Structure 1
Amino acid sequence: MSLQALNDRSRQIFRQIVETYLETGEPVGSRTISRADGIHVSPATIRNVMADMEEAGLLEAPHTSAGRVPTDLGMRIFVDGLMQVGNLTTAERASLEARAEESGLTTEDLLAQATRKLSGLSHCASVVLVPKEDDGVRHIEFVPLAPDRALVIIVSENGHVENRLIDLPPGLPATALIQAGNYLNQRLAGRTLTEARAMIEEDLANHKTALDVLAADVVEKGLAVWSGADEDKASLIISGQANLIDDVTASEDLERLRRLFEDLERKRDLVRLLELARQGEGVRLYIGSETNLFSLSGSSLIVSPYMKGANNVVGVIGVIGPTRLNYARIIPMVDYTAQVISGQL
């Protein structure tokens, strides 16, 4: 089902249903919609339109009510095609722009402060992925352990040594490991791991390397190892979980909240999702079952990447809450917070 498949009357009714649900948190009935401004059709007509939307997967009927609520798909269509994003007030902008007066704050301190501000203004939980230290790599080497396994030794500029295991493609000659190591060390010289990885990924994607197929496969596996290492080092700050309790009104809401708290405890899964968001541009939304992480808790994640320097994305910040979020207000709030952080960094 797409927005284009709805006629003007159906769009108007659908928009009113979603906006009423976002405002009240209650299932919406046809009589309520018929009384709304601009709706000039009977409750019976509205019920027929709602039935069509339910069949199309945009609405659903909770078992305890005759009214309807938007599904995750319905909410996505509303957010992408019908919602009008609002503007932040002067006071909200000033609150997000205010910097701590203390001197000597670390990057993590600044980000923790930003999450507290964002959670306070949005009345949601806020999350931020803290940038990893990327001091550069001095040397990388592949050491064969078995015909199908090798040890990757990564020595950073500060002398830190990491060892990772990778699987090797069948029939790989020993010379391919040497070729892969030489290729990587040439590109690592004078660059951080993030910078080198971006260059190598571009080389591989555009077939600009002098590597043979098997050696290129080893390099790609090395990139995957580095991504995993980054994830393990990632630091995650979560603030304002208590804000989520304020809107709990029913036992099923309490159960969804319990599941959301369990989701937040699985920080590794959340970090993976945020790492994916870091690769995009602008605000990203994940609504309910669109991700496995929030499929049971019925929650939404709104995030935006922030930068350190021109075009150098280092992390993401955003909010987590129920799918019944004030998206029109929170989307610009998350976007502006990311811009403020980029400026501070």
Structure 2
Amino acid sequence: MNERSREVFRRVVEGYLESGGPVGSRSLTRQMNEKISAATIRNVMQDLEFMGLLDSPHVSAGRIPTQQGLRMFVDGLLEVRDLDHQDREKIDATLGSNDADVGSMLDRVGAALSGVTLGASLVLTPKHEAPIKHIEFISLNPDRALVVLVFADGHVENRVFQPPSGQTPSSMREAANFLNALSEGRTLSELRRVIASEISKRRQELDELARALVESGLAIWENEGERHERLIVRGRANLLDGAADSAELDRIRTLFDDLERKRDIAEFLELTEDGEGVRIFIGSENKLFSLSGSSLVVSPYMNADRKIIGAVGVIGPTRLNYGRIVPIVDYTAQLVGRLISDRGKG
């Protein structure tokens, strides 16, 4: 593209992102850096359409960018702003309370993101791979028991299960002591790897009832049908309120259906697997929500060991205000990573 084509293309995309509608040649004549006629602009638009960068939804109704055009704009022409001071303050204020529960904190992250961006936010909570601080077994009745896992990041997880018959308060204490001695500094997945061999080594000293309790508790933790990732979605109403026409409304409803079917999706984290930093998925590039033709701006957050443990993002129509949303998502992800890392040190 020459300089004139580039400017026409940029102004069409920016006009579309602002209004959600086609941009006509007459409106561009008043915006161009050089004085050129509407007919000349129409010729440039036709060339850009031929290149697959613009599309004309109706005859003589102006142009909108194609998915390919939006991708080219985002990769090469997007001007990412600095984070607005007011946006920063709103995010900081929402996350400022000292809540011991990570889930509650991340729920507030979602509310903050949707409130600041006026879009829908997605937050994938961690798998709670923080080191285990304490494990306890509690008898509820002869055929029901509770295993309580307290993590170093403040998260507490309770699971009810059916213990082996004949359990006593003594065997429950012994099982918990055995696990607590092994779990120090280890995550749940690390504990799983060592527990079987340790049971085998210490079979003589570990009471038979306690051994059975540990093994049945382990079976509960390893239940493959239970997913611990949780996708928090906030701000659906923002998207409905901002729909430009009935076609966009239908796409948003399709997006909501997608989100409902995929409340717990490990795949969401895979979108960020290429490393830290914000990524933008436009339309069908977004494999999770491609039916709705939505755009997703997403960034992972990391723990103190620089391991990706979750993600935050904003999702909506392809006419998202990318230049403003990218720094908001980036800042929020870094802030969440710091907060979770600080909790892990406590």
Q: TM-score, normalised by structure 1?
A: 0.69
Superposed displacement of residue 64, structure 1: 6.8
2:327 alignment partner, one of 316, 332, 342:
332
Distance 1:52 1:101 in 2: 51
Partner of 1:93: 88
Partner of 1:216: none
Distance 2:129 2:99 in 1: 20
Superposed displacement of residue 10, structure 1: 0.8
Deviates more, 1:326-335 or 1:228-237: 228-237
1:73 alignment partner, one of 47, 56, 68:
68
Structure whose CA Rg is larger: 2
On the 8 A contact 1:231/1:271 being kept in 2, the answer is: no
Superposed displacement of residue 120, structure 1: 0.2
Superposed displacement of residue 73, structure 1: 1.0
On the 8 A contact 1:231/1:272 being kept in 2, the answer is: no
On the 8 A contact 2:94/2:109 being kept in 1, the answer is: no
Per the alignment, do residues 65 and 252 of structure 1 end up closer, same or farther by CA in structure 2, a change over 3 Å counting? farther
Q: CA RMSD in A?
A: 3.4
2:113 alignment partner, one of 107, 110, 118:
118
Per the alignment, do residues 100 and 245 of structure 1 end up closer, same or farther by CA in structure 2, a change over 3 Å counting? same
Per the alignment, do residues 107 and 59 of structure 1 end up closer, same or farther by CA in structure 2, a change over 3 Å counting? same
Aligned pairs for 1:233-312 within 5 A: 233-267=228-262, 271-312=266-307
Q: Aligned with 1:305: secondary structure?
A: strand
Superposed displacement of residue 244, structure 1: 0.4
Distance 1:264 1:97 in 2: 27
Q: What residue identity is the alignment partner of 1:291?
A: N
Partner of 1:128: 123
Distance 2:225 2:280 in 1: 23
Partner of 1:319: 314
Mind listing any 5+ residue stretches in structure 2 that lack a counterpart? Answer: 133-148, 151-158, 160-183, 192-222, 341-346
Partner of 1:84: 79
On the 8 A contact 1:317/1:334 being kept in 2, the answer is: yes
Per the alignment, do residues 232 and 41 of structure 1 end up closer, same or farther by CA in structure 2, a change over 3 Å counting? same
Aligned pairs for 1:145-224 within 5 A: 192=187
Q: Aligned with 1:232: secondary structure?
A: coil
On the 8 A contact 2:230/2:265 being kept in 1, the answer is: no
Partner of 1:50: 45
Distance 1:230 1:190 in 2: 27
Q: Aligned with 1:233: secondary structure?
A: coil
Distance 1:260 1:322 in 2: 10
On the 8 A contact 1:21/1:69 being kept in 2, the answer is: yes
Superposed displacement of residue 89, structure 1: 2.2
Identity of aligned residues (%): 51
Distance 1:48 1:193 in 2: 63
Distance 1:44 1:195 in 2: 68
Superposed displacement of residue 193, structure 1: 6.8
Q: Aligned with 1:296: secondary structure?
A: helix
Partner of 2:198: none
Q: TM-score, normalised by structure 2?
A: 0.69
Mind listing any 5+ residue stretches in structure 1 that lack a counterpart? Answer: 1-5, 138-156, 161-188, 197-227
Partner of 1:38: 33
Per the alignment, do residues 105 and 136 of structure 1 end up closer, same or farther by CA in structure 2, a change over 3 Å counting? closer
Per the alignment, do residues 328 and 100 of structure 1 end up closer, same or farther by CA in structure 2, a change over 3 Å counting? closer
- Alpha-carbon displacement from aligned partner over 1:284-308 (angstroms, at most 9, x marks no partner): 1111111333333221110111122
Q: Aligned with 2:122: secondary structure?
A: strand
